[in-house]
Amino acid sequence: NAGVTQTPKFRILKIGQSMTLQCTQDMNHNYMYWYRQDPGMGLKLIYYSVGAGITDKGEVPNGYNVSRSTTEDFPLRLELAAPSQTSVYFCASSYLGGDQSYNEQFFGPGTRLTVL
Amino acid sequence: RKEVEQDPGPFNVPEGATVAFNCTYSNSASQSFFWYRQDCRKEPKLLMSVYSSGNEDGRFTAQLNRASQYISLLIRDSKLSDSATYLCVVNPLGNDYKLSFGAGTTVTVRA
């Protein structure tokens, strides 16, 4: 299993440009998440999905959009990039079944995005 | 007030030493607690869950104090490979899909 994969690893955008960060997991996890991590700060949840076709906002959704057409893929779209979106973006997935007492989230390697 | 607060460190310790640090959480109804490890410029990975009775995994011991709302991590016989940032993670609402992450405590083990 490759686990959670993300592309690209690095990207530099100009203000106002758009891009899609790709995330794929091969563990048949139902839950997927997008986080951003800024220096000295904890991970902040941008969007999450509890299954194909279902997405919801997290703590910091403004400026982003997501879709979940399949169990495996959860792309994050940035429209009109701004310098405040310079960050490291992590995708994660987890499986929550009947016993929802445990939630280990598995993370992808991250995408380092700079907006200039 | 932040949901999860940690001393950022860094904790600089020699090999073989014991190092311990805490994190505090604000929501007394929090259900699940974890320590994640994050190496420099890498993704977080689960180190261990924290159970009410306290638990141990090799050289690592985690404790939960619900009355004072903090969890702790103790590392015995530190190795160079233990150098990392340790993230305190809490499930604040009992919703297992949302986790709150602390900013991390950096540990550096020197030879």
Mutation target for B interface from A90, A103, A105: give the one with most B CBs within 10 A: A103
- Residues in chain A with CB shorter than 8 Å from the CB of B57 are none
Express each pLDDT in A7-36 by its tens digit. Answer: 999 999 999 999 999 999 999 999 999 999
Say how far residue B108 (Cα) sits from the centre of its chain.
Answer: 15
User: What is the mean pLDDT, run by run of 10 residues, along chain B of 111 residues?
Assistant: 89 97 92 92 93 90 94 97 96 72 96 95
Count of beta carbons in the 10 Å neighbourhood of residue B109: 20
Q: Which residues are CB-neighbours of A99 under 8 A, at least 6 positions away?
A: none
Question: How much of chain A exceeds pLDDT 90, in percent?
Answer: 84
The stretches of A6-113 forming alpha helices (DSSP H) are: none
**Closest CA in chain B for residue A98:** B96
Exposure string (b/e) for A55-72, b if CB count within 10 Å is 16 or more?
beebebbeebebbbeebb
